[in-house]
Amino acid sequence: MKLLIFVLISTLIFLTHTTTFAEIKLPRVFGNNMVLQRDMPAPIWGWTEPNEALTISISRQDIESEVDTYIVKADEKGRWRTTLKATPAGGPYKLEVTGDNTVEFTNVLFGEVWVCSGQSNMAWSVNQSKDSQEEIAAANYPNIRLFHIPNEISGLPSPDVNAEWRSTTPDSIRHFSAVAYSFGRHLNKELNVPIGLINASWGGSRIEPWTPPEGFAAVPALASVSDEIQDIGKNFRAELPENLQALETWIAKTRVALEDSDIIYEMPEIDHPLKNGGRPTAMFNNMIYPIVPYAIRGALWYQGESNMREGMMYHEKMKALIRGWREVWDQGDFPFYFVQLAPWGGYDRDDPTHLPKIWEAQAATLALPNTGMVVTTDIGNVKDIHPKNKQDVGLRLALWALAKTYEKVDLVCSGPLYESMEIEGNSIRIHFEHVGSGLVSRDGEPLSWVQIAGEDQQFADAVAVIDGETVVVSSDSVESPVAVRLGWHQTAEPNLMNKEGLPVSPFRTDAW
């Protein structure tokens, strides 16, 4: 049985559903202009009067005779859920939910839905990015729909968000994620289907607030975080009766004050220890949980700057995030594509290897099924933590999706990734995955940012030569080499790439 959200359902219901629903309501992720995931059963849910019978119908707006109908009955707390059958791309459709009242959504499309999340480089808007004025002026894509979730945190899972679906226009795209938009635009062009982009990102955020309790519980290295979350939930429940008494006392006194036109004092708060932007689950609770289990094709992730000094522990946290999202969505191992951070000189001038260790952790995450990583060492800005070129980031994410999710054959989606090494006398031969149609130097110059070391662990600058699908590394100052590093510095922009123009991911062959 799956691990339940750490706060017991009775507590959540009290805080969010204390009143009886007088009419049918759906979370705002359902609305006019929405995109529902094509070719996949699509859950739909909401609230109404307890035990009320509802009729859900979906029909083409241009072919009224084609109607699919579903009957569902709300439970004793007024909650209901059903699942629309898998439907091919197209539209527009009209969705109606009818009981004692009717809720109607129009201009609904079926297409590809992606959740886009992370910190500032994912949140970075089109208006802030490269060629912004041209991009905004050209943003007329009625079949690319945008759902921007506002930045709010919660110690408890929230049932809804304050957002709405909008078609892509110069006005709506201006403040939307530039990476997500570029990704969606490429998918729309290549697949010729509607695209739905859900943006839930927050500048400066760590990975832990985006991770559900299920994720921490799934990773042994994070057992202490999982235990902390569960302990907080138990303590919160234990303290709730006293807090409720304080609320009830305030309500009674306030009623008297209203009748007597007396002073009204502020309502006492029932705060939650996890209602803090840096605490585990705080952003998941209010920005991801409300859209689960809305049917999606996959997720995009661009984050890591705020977890900079954690090295391979960040890999453990990435595992928790990915496994947690996949468990709560209950859609299997859906695609999860992420962006490796760009080089920047401002992370740590005393130890410029913190960023390479995050690169290493991100690359290690490729061991999880159905994942992909975009390398950005050639499109960053070592003087700016927020590189303006978001178009190529989105394009490279789209390459992963097109190649792996949509199975576009003969499409190279990644630059070279370190695979193995072998010592050959006074040199080391490096083997790669994703060499594409061959290895080249991006600028025609000798390969850069390559070092080699012997048993003394003292690295020296090395000569690296492309030999077929491998690179041979050597140095006159290292007679008996045992290890190679490439791009092992926070400002590294190595020039090795494949002929498709995708750069090598920095790596080391040692574990020193």
Confidence of residue 482 (pLDDT cuts 50, 70, 90): very high
Question: What mean pLDDT is predicted for residues 260-266?
Answer: 89
Question: Cα dihedral sign for 453, 456, 459, 461?
Answer: negative
Instruction: Say whether pLDDT at 336 is over 60.
Output: yes
Question: What mean pLDDT is predicted for residues 428-441?
Answer: 98
Are 495 and 442 in contact by the 8 Å Cβ rule? The answer is yes
The identity of residue 485, as a single letter, is: R
Burial profile 404-423: b = 16 or more Cβ within 10 angstroms, e = fewer: bbbeeeeebbbbbbbeebee
Burial class (CB in 10 A: 0-12, 13-18, 19+), 228: middle
Which pLDDT score, from 0 to 100, does residue 8 have? 35
Which pLDDT score, from 0 to 100, does residue 422 have? 98
CA-nearest of 414, 405, 408 to 369 is 405
Question: What mean pLDDT is predicted for residues 360-386?
Answer: 98
Question: What mean pLDDT is predicted for residues 110-133?
Answer: 98
Which pLDDT score, from 0 to 100, does residue 13 have? 38
Confidence of residue 270 (pLDDT cuts 50, 70, 90): confident
Confidence of residue 66 (pLDDT cuts 50, 70, 90): confident
Question: What mean pLDDT is predicted for residues 493-512?
Answer: 98
Give per-residue pLDDT as tens, 282-312.
999 999 999 999 999 999 999 999 999 999 9
CA 492, 387, 123: angle at the middle one, nearest 5? 130
Q: How far apart are CA 496 and CA 498, in angstroms?
A: 7
Q: How far apart are CA 472 and CA 446, in angstroms?
A: 12
Give per-residue pLDDT as tens, 81-107.
999 999 999 999 999 999 999 999 999
Q: How far apart are CA 188 and CA 38, in angstroms?
A: 14
Confidence of residue 6 (pLDDT cuts 50, 70, 90): very low
Three-state SS at 1? coil
Query: Which residues partner with 8 through β-bridges?
Result: none
Instruction: Say whether pLDDT at 246 is over 70.
Output: yes
Give per-residue pLDDT as tens, 163-192.
999 999 999 999 999 999 999 999 999 999
Q: How far apart are CA 369 and CA 403, in angstroms?
A: 15
Burial class (CB in 10 A: 0-12, 13-18, 19+), 350: exposed
Output the average pLDDT for the chain. Answer: 94
Instruction: Say whether pLDDT at 18 is over 60.
Output: no
Instruction: Say whether pLDDT at 404 is over 90.
Output: yes
Q: How far apart are CA 146 and CA 111, in angstroms?
A: 13
